[in-house]
């Protein structure tokens, strides 16, 4: 059969339309000779939205209206999805020139109305030779009519009960004339004989060709003489005419019947399903027909071989009672359309089923039934699905946008109102991945945005609730028309018990150690010392010992390093305190702090306070062995020590009192005083106090000039930070030991060997020959 079939196709294709206009665009109007009809198609792009056809024959032109088409064998439809209009004209249609049921010539006018209202008419001529020999009986279930043609020599009684036939016979005998008449048999209805023209009035067309009887009926409701019934779950429409005439003394009767399954088909969510009874009674009423029944399916008016339908996923299930055909959504052979409506993705799928069944009727005559059945899904809404795949511990928003059809692309995202195309998102370090969805043709996108990303909204409440939120507005487009639509999603991540870093302070003998255990959101705050951010650099510069690992931060602050404040200094002990705090990086608002005060043993100390008070504890016996500490005084000899013990003195005095000398240079203000000692000369009679004019110890405070602007503006001492204090003693050059770290107080003291007491006239701003800082006594309080 293959060769013959292909030859047939070749011949079909070689029939060209002849139209009046010679320079039509390619494919504008095409014709094809199909098994039992001529197919004329015209592209909508050429023909506009409302093309019309007229059948043309020797009698004139006959507009093909809906009703006229259903009565005369023309099926016209506009099909937006393939994008064309098509006309199927039965070879037995009213205005066909039929030569021996073998050669059919059809003429049409195609009328196209331009937007301007101007009509253009094209002539379409086609001649088809029968591609496939006629079966004895053929039934065509077109979309808008039923047509049966029978070889005129076939005689058989169809599905007629004997009683009914007897009644028909009686009516025929009583009303038969030499002209043919017709009566329609209907369950429980009287038989009414009528002429062909009367039947034509009702929409029924009978005609005789060279060798065949043709009957055509529209479907209900015009088909008043027919009936619709349920046959094994399927709707079947039946029209049963009986023709009769009297030829001399013989009454001739032709029992005709046409039946079509009129099921609409339905969509079950996965596929379009259509079914028909296996035995289309009353066309065939016994099981005899089933044996030889051959069932084939196809689409668009053409049958398909089984391998092709299998490949496309169509299925044809034939049982004793029903034939069921299923075509999956979007299978090849159908047309799918997707579009945006109300900002939602819609789609539907249309398939034009073609079905053929060959069976032997009750009389053993082959019947070939053909059926056209367009089916479509309802309008389907593709609901996207959002899955929040965020894992809090990862601190990355992970959002899955799924159920996207293959023709949908993500082109942009708006994150908390900020636009990103896919390319920009990539550049900004956001990750957008397209992933296929398992077991479907759908795909999905996964968007990853770290909580710490600048676009993420952060909200912190002092109750310890930290919230990250992200509003997403996806811009999707349907390809190829690039129709956009938007999808919104919102994700939130919350953490409880998030508090600023917590410090622990520990007093050591000569330092304070701060401890801070790292917590996940520590990065929200910074650690500060005074106005400064604690960095490894700052720590190194100020001599803090900082250790920072993934678990914790340890900061050891040696006594006397920058940042300490002192109070309650006496000869035994004093308080040194140091403050560390956490603050918000943007506002510098302090969120937690710890000022740790520790009691330290006093050995020697000099403190130049911000209020302009110099407090010093020093060992005078080191400078002058045997010197009486309670015999010391300052430049103003009325200024005596506040406290003394065996060797040490404690002086505390305002920098503008006790004869303190002041010197100002470009950048600094230097205050200097001297601790002198009164010698008691052991004379023979009684001890005589003499004053040694040579100072024992020089104490000095240096403040940056810029810190003291209030002093000059308001005569009030109020430095921004403590001054730098120095204790200087007369030490012979050769004894100078510069190897001690300046901030260490625990080094062994080395007594002075010289007691040289000559007054060097030490005055501010001058070189002080012979006076060198004893390294271990020098405390330098740098600001940074």
- 240-248, 382-390, 581-589, 754-762 -> range binding ligand NAG (CB under 6 A): 382-390
CA distance 417 to 435: 25
* Residue 113 sits in the site that holds ligand NAG (CB under 6 A): no
* Residue 634 sits in the site that holds ligand NAG (CB under 6 A): no
Residues in 21-60 at the binding interface with ligand NAG, rule: CB under 6 A? none
Pair 137, 155: CB distance under 8 Å: no
Binding mask 666-705 for ligand NAG (x = CB under 6 A): ----------------------------------------
- Return phi, psi of residue 361, to 5°: -80, -175
CA distance 157 to 265: 31
- 304-312, 379-387, 588-596, 616-624 -> range binding ligand NAG (CB under 6 A): 379-387
Contact residues for 37 (Cβ-Cβ < 8 A; gap 6+):
88, 89, 90, 91, 93, 301
Q: What is the length of the chain? A: 784
Pair 780, 724: CB distance under 8 Å: yes
First to last CA, the chain: 102
CA distance 502 to 488: 40
Binding mask 524-563 for ligand NAG (x = CB under 6 A): ---x------x-x-----------x-x--x----------
- 243-251, 435-443, 665-673, 720-728 -> range binding ligand NAG (CB under 6 A): 435-443
CA distance 106 to 95: 7
User: Is residue 163 classed as helix, strand or coil in its secondary structure?
Assistant: helix
* Residue 385 sits in the site that holds ligand NAG (CB under 6 A): yes
- 40-48, 351-359, 385-393, 568-576 -> range binding ligand NAG (CB under 6 A): 385-393
Choosing from 5, 6, 7, 20, the residue that interacts with ligand NAG (CB under 6 A) is 20
**For ligand NAG, the closer CB: 237 or 672:** 237
* Residue 187 sits in the site that holds ligand NAG (CB under 6 A): no
* Residue 346 sits in the site that holds ligand NAG (CB under 6 A): no
* Residue 519 sits in the site that holds ligand NAG (CB under 6 A): no
CA distance 729 to 695: 9
CA distance 468 to 67: 67
Total binding residues toward ligand NAG, as defined by CB under 6 A: 42
* Residue 18 sits in the site that holds ligand NAG (CB under 6 A): yes
Half-sphere exposure of 663 (CA within 13 A, CB side): 12
Choosing from 465, 488, 506, 664, the residue that interacts with ligand NAG (CB under 6 A) is 488
CA distance 242 to 192: 10
Output the smallest distance, CB 442 to ligand NAG, in A. 5
Q: What is the DSSP string of 202-232?
A: TT-EEEE-SSEEEEEEEPTTT-TT-EEEEET
Query: Taking the mean position of all CA atoms in its chain, how far away is CA 16?
Result: 52
**For ligand NAG, the closer CB: 296 or 403:** 403
* Residue 442 sits in the site that holds ligand NAG (CB under 6 A): yes
- 109-117, 203-211, 456-464, 489-497 -> range binding ligand NAG (CB under 6 A): 489-497
Cis, bond preceding 704 (omega within 30 deg of 0): no
Work out the number of other CB atoms within 10 angstroms of the CB of residue 162.
8
**For ligand NAG, the closer CB: 125 or 642:** 125
Pair 128, 33: CB distance under 8 Å: yes
CA distance 567 to 652: 12
Choosing from 40, 447, 493, 699, the residue that interacts with ligand NAG (CB under 6 A) is 493
* Residue 414 sits in the site that holds ligand NAG (CB under 6 A): yes
**For ligand NAG, the closer CB: 243 or 527:** 527
Half-sphere exposure of 109 (CA within 13 A, CB side): 14
**For ligand NAG, the closer CB: 27 or 520:** 520
Burial 519-552 (b: 16+ CB within 10 A, else e): eebbebbbbbbbeeebeeebbeebbbebeeeeee
Pair 339, 373: CB distance under 8 Å: no
Choosing from 6, 406, 486, 709, the residue that interacts with ligand NAG (CB under 6 A) is 486
* Residue 440 sits in the site that holds ligand NAG (CB under 6 A): yes
* Residue 135 sits in the site that holds ligand NAG (CB under 6 A): no
* Residue 324 sits in the site that holds ligand NAG (CB under 6 A): no
Residue 614, token pair as written in the block: 């110099």
Residues in 260-279 at the binding interface with ligand NAG, rule: CB under 6 A? 277
Pair 695, 676: CB distance under 8 Å: yes
**What is the sign, positive or negative, of the torsion defined by CA atoms of 547, 552, 553, 559?**
negative
- Return phi, psi of residue 190, to 5°: -75, 150
* Residue 238 sits in the site that holds ligand NAG (CB under 6 A): no
**For ligand NAG, the closer CB: 208 or 392:** 392
Residue 229, token pair as written in the block: 């019934």
**For ligand NAG, the closer CB: 520 or 765:** 520
Output the smallest distance, CB 630 to ligand NAG, in A. 4
**For ligand NAG, the closer CB: 630 or 755:** 630
**For ligand NAG, the closer CB: 419 or 573:** 419
Choosing from 67, 129, 189, 419, the residue that interacts with ligand NAG (CB under 6 A) is 419
The residues that touch ligand NAG, with contacts defined as CB under 6 A, are: 18-20, 107, 123, 125, 231-232, 277, 281, 320-321, 381, 383, 385, 388, 390, 392, 402-403, 414, 417-419, 437, 440, 442, 473, 486, 488, 491-493, 527, 534, 536, 548, 550, 553, 628, 630-631
């Amino acid at each position: 059969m293959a060769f013959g079939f292909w030859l047939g196709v070749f011949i079909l294709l070689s029939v060209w339309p002849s139209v009046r206009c010679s320079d039509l665009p390619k494919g504008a109007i095409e014709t094809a000779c199909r098994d039992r009809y001529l197919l004329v198609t015209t592209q909508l792009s050429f023909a506009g939205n409302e093309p019309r056809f007229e059948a043309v024959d020797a009698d004139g032109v006959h507009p093909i209206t809906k009703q006229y088409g259903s009565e005369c064998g023309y099926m016209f439809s506009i099909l937006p999805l393939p994008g064309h209009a098509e006309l199927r004209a039965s070879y037995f249609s009213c205005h066909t020139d039929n030569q021996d049921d073998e050669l059919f010539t059809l003429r049409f006018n195609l009328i196209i109305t331009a937007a301007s209202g101007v009509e253009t008419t094209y002539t379409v001529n086609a001649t088809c030779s029968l591609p496939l020999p006629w079966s004895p009986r053929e039934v065509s279930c077109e979309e808008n009519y039923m047509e049966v043609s029978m070889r005129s020599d076939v005689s058989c009684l169809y599905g007629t009960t004997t009683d009914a036939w007897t009644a028909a016979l009686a009516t025929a005998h009583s009303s038969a004339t030499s002209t043919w008449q017709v009566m329609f048999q209907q369950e429980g209805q009287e038989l009414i004989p009528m002429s062909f023209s009367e039947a034509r009035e009702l929409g029924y067309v009978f005609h005789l060709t060279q060798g065949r009887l043709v009957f055509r009926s529209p479907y209900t409701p015009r088909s008043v003489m027919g009936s619709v019934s349920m046959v094994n779950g399927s709707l079947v429409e039946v029209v049963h005419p009986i023709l009769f005439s009297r030829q001399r003394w013989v009454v001739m009767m032709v029992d005709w019947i046409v039946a079509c399954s009129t099921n609409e088909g339905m969509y079950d969510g996965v596929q379009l399903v259509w079914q028909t009874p296996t035995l289309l009674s009353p066309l065939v009423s016994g099981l005899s027909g089933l044996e030889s029944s051959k069932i084939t399916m196809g689409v668009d008016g053409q049958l398909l071989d089984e391998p092709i339908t299998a490949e496309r996923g169509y299925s044809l299930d034939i049982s004793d009672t029903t034939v069921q055909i299923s075509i999956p959504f979007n299978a090849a052979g159908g047309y799918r359309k997707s579009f945006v409506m109300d900002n939602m993705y819609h789609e539907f799928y249309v398939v034009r089923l073609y079905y053929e069944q060959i069976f032997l009727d009750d009389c053993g005559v082959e019947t070939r039934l053909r059926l056209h059945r367009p089916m479509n899904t309802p309008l389907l809404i593709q609901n996207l699905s959002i899955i929040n795949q965020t894992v809090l511990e990862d601190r990355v928003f992970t959002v899955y946008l799924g159920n996207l059809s293959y023709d949908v692309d993500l082109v942009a995202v708006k994150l908390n109102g900020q636009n990103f195309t896919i390319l920009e998102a990539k550049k900004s370090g956001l990750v957008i991945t397209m992933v296929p969805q398992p077991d479907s043709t759908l795909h999905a996108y996964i968007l990853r945005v770290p909580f710490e990303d600048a676009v993420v909204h952060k909200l912190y409440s002092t109750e310890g609730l930290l919230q990250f939120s992200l509003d997403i507005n996806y811009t999707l487009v349907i390809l190829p028309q690039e129709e956009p639509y938007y999808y919104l999603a919102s994700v939130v991540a919350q953490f409880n018990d998030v508090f600023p870093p917590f410090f622990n302070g520990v007093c050591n003998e000569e330092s304070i150690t701060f401890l801070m255990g790292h917590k996940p959101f520590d990065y929200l705050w910074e650690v500060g010392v005074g106005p400064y951010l604690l960095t490894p650099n700052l720590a190194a510069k100020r001599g803090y010992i900082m250790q920072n690992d993934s678990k914790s931060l340890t900061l050891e602050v040696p006594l006397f390093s920058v940042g300490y404040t002192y109070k309650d200094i006496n000869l035994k002990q004093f308080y040194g305190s140091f403050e560390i705090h956490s603050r918000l990086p943007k506002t510098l608002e302090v969120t937690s702090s710890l000022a740790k005060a520790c009691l330290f043993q006093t050995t020697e100390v000099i403190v130049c306070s911000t209020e302009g008070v110099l407090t010093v504890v020093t060992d005078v016996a080191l400078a002058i062995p045997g010197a009486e500490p309670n015999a010391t005084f300052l430049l103003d000899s009325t200024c005596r020590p506040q406290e003394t013990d065996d060797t040490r003195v404690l002086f505390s005095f305002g920098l503008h009192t006790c004869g303190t000398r002041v010197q100002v240079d470009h950048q600094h203000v230097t205050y200097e005083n001297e601790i002198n000692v009164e010698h008691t000369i052991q004379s023979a009679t009684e001890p005589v106090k003499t004053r040694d004019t040579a100072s024992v110890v020089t104490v000095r405070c240096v403040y940056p000039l810029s810190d003291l602007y209030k002093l000059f503006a308001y005569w009030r001492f109020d430095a921004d930070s403590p001054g730098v204090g120095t204790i200087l003693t007369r030490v012979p050059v050769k004894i100078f030991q510069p190897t001690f770290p300046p901030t260490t107080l625990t080094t062994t003291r080395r007594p002075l060997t010289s007691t040289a007491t000559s007054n060097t006239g030490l005055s501010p701003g001058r070189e002080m020959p012979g006076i060198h800082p004893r390294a271990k006594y020098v405390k330098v309080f740098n600001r940074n």
